[in-house]
A and B are shown apart, each in its own frame.
Chain A
């Protein structure tokens, strides 16, 4: 295989992603109705959230049962920021920075305390519950941060949504909002791919494969896990901030167990250890849930639960390997044809 073909194979997913994103941005707004477009926007936001767990779990080996903690922190950070600053750019930055800070503190506590698998699950779950309880108990006017009233169980309604950076008066409309979300999704996907092919990403995967061996080779596994966890937290926060924008609303349910559970289901349905799989899983499951909601005679929980059990029992690797099989077969055929002379039979 010559160099250019190798490069092509390596960059193929990135190109495909760019093409898909550009197509979505240019074609969809004129092709579908506004209602459907708004629906697609939330799919894109949740796909970003799904990617955050796909990275931490699939590549970092950190099964976080409380990914919603970062999602919710992002949503609340955006809400509090935008109400105080009156402009969305700083608030969006806060929505990424605050969850990263939270992930740093929590990750330091866990990884430097050598807490692993199930125990890690308990700690992350616990943090989510703490945040949920706290957010729920803040009803009343005395709970306010600057100009933002936290509102307890009722949440924070009518938040200012994204505006053009620098001019708070010019709010984005639903088409622009959709485009921003797709751009964010594509950038996160491409960014994660780049990260994984860089040195840092390779060490993170090495730590997942065998922590002891990585340590013996001179890498401090704790630091790499912490790094992966913080990045994942930041991505989840970005999704949370966008989600608060999408509904112009945030409430304690963003910290809920259901939110964390959803992310885990998307990743396992899509395929642990891939990036594209969880995006597909997320969109498929969201579409399915919305569809079940419209026909109305089956409970979405029932179907989600059944899907999770069936996937764990029968397809633990998820959909991705099945979906990619034809492509890989094609690529193999191509490379065999191209390399016919050079290969020893």
Chain B
């Protein structure tokens, strides 16, 4: 029984991590059909922002949950202005340009911070379920994923900004004709997506540590989760994360983590083959 509970926590943790890592990308993709391949580097920047803030003596919770998203959101706004803005509607070009940005950011951070892993102490200890020890931080990650989803739902569903954003998402030219500013909405959305990536980076920093090349590990997973989920931002991300996270963690338990990773990717391929529009192209249509 305890063993089942431990596995359940681990599976939930895997799902929550996937949700956190991909929600920022999903916001950007769902809203403006831009696949941001620099997403992994936004996560990495979030990690660095949190680590640096802790080093300067800022409280660790504040650094993870406030400093990291703010810093990366700001960087996202600047990059949107400089690069992404010129590429709306050119999906492949946007993908290539953001890939260039990703290399650029890796190069910059390597130049500044070097290639050694920097870390922060995990602020939470462990607790035990029966005779098994479980990290409390896993519980924190799960809670944060739920909170982020809830806040995003409220933002998109019950605020003025959300209404505008959803209208631009459904039909940008119609929204423009009705007096909204799709470009402005896009800019805000991109910054929001970047901030969410920064938050993920901050939260995951104590678990993984940060190196300039850490983004690569995240971007592929996030990319796959978002495409697997389809165009609905929340429903798609949560659904795809649940499928992929469960498969990954269960197979990891049975075999090795590497095989678990491979199983995740294989399932993703089959899923995209069966549902080319993603899960939300078939189920939960039209949800956020």
Contacts and interface: CB of A to CB of B under 8 A. Distances in A.
Given A122-B223, A308-B96, A115 B107 contact: no
Identify whether the interface residues of B are mostly helix, strand, loop, or mixed. helix
Interface in B81-97: 83, 86-87, 91-93, 95-97
Nearest to B107: A302
Contacts of B83: 309, 313
B99 A264 contact: yes
Given A113-B273, A123-B272, A312-B93, A133 B258 contact: yes
A309 B97 contact: yes
10 contacts: A117-B91, A122-B223, A126-B268, A301-B106, A302-B103, A303-B107, A305-B103, A306-B104, A308-B100, A312-B97
Nearest to A121: B95
B130 interface: no
Interface string A80-114: 00000000000000000000000000000100011
B227 A122 contact: yes
Interface in A143-187: none
Interface of A: 63, 109, 113-115, 117-119, 121-123, 125-127, 129-130, 133-134, 136-137, 257, 261, 264-265, 268, 298-310, 312-313, 316
A113 B274 CA distance: 8
A300 B107 contact: yes
Contacts of A312: 87, 93, 96-97, 100
Interface string B228-255: 0000000000000000000000000000
B149 interface: no
B288 to A, nearest CB: 21
Nearest to A127: B269
Given A118-B91, A268-B96, A126 B224 contact: yes
A118 B99 contact: no
Given A113-B273, A130-B262, A309-B100, A63 B216 contact: no
A268 B265 CA distance: 28
Contacts of A307: 100
Interface of B: 35, 83, 86-87, 91-93, 95-97, 99-108, 110-111, 216, 220, 223-224, 227, 256, 258-259, 261-262, 265-266, 268-269, 272-273, 276
Contacts of B97: 308-309, 312-313
B216 A257 contact: yes
B278 to A, nearest CB: 9
Contacts of A257: 216, 220
Identify whether the interface residues of A are mostly helix, strand, loop, or mixed. helix
Contacts of A313: 83, 86-87, 97
Chain B CB within 10 Å — which of A127, A257, A300 has the most?
A257
Nearest to B263: A130
Given A126-B220, A126-B269, A305 B258 contact: no
A115 B275 CA distance: 10
Given A137-B258, A308-B99, A309-B100, A301 B269 contact: no
A306 B106 CA distance: 11
Nearest to A106: B269
B110 to A, nearest CB: 5
Contacts of A265: 100
Contacts of A299: 107-108, 110-111
Contact of B111 (A127, A137, A302): A302
A305 B105 CA distance: 8
A299 B35 CA distance: 25
A285 B216 CA distance: 22
A136 B261 CA distance: 12
A301 B103 contact: yes
B208 to A, nearest CB: 17
A122 B277 CA distance: 13
A228 B238 CA distance: 37
A56 to B, nearest CB: 14
Given A113-B273, A117-B91, A126-B224, A137 B266 contact: no
Contacts of A134: 258, 262
A134 B257 CA distance: 11
A310 B220 CA distance: 24
Contacts of B35: 118, 121
Contacts of B99: 261, 264, 308
4 smallest beta-carbon distances between A and B, as pairs: A302-B107, A308-B100, A305-B104, A305-B103
Contacts of B110: 299, 301-302
Nearest to B108: A302
Contact of A316 (B93, B100, B107, B268): B93
A119 B272 CA distance: 7
Contact of B265 (A129, A261, A300, A303): A129
Given A130-B262, A133-B258, A137-B258, 19 more contacts: A117-B91, A126-B220, A126-B265, A133-B262, A133-B265, A134-B258, A261-B99, A268-B96, A300-B107, A301-B103, A302-B107, A302-B110, A304-B103, A305-B103, A305-B107, A306-B104, A307-B100, A309-B83, A312-B100
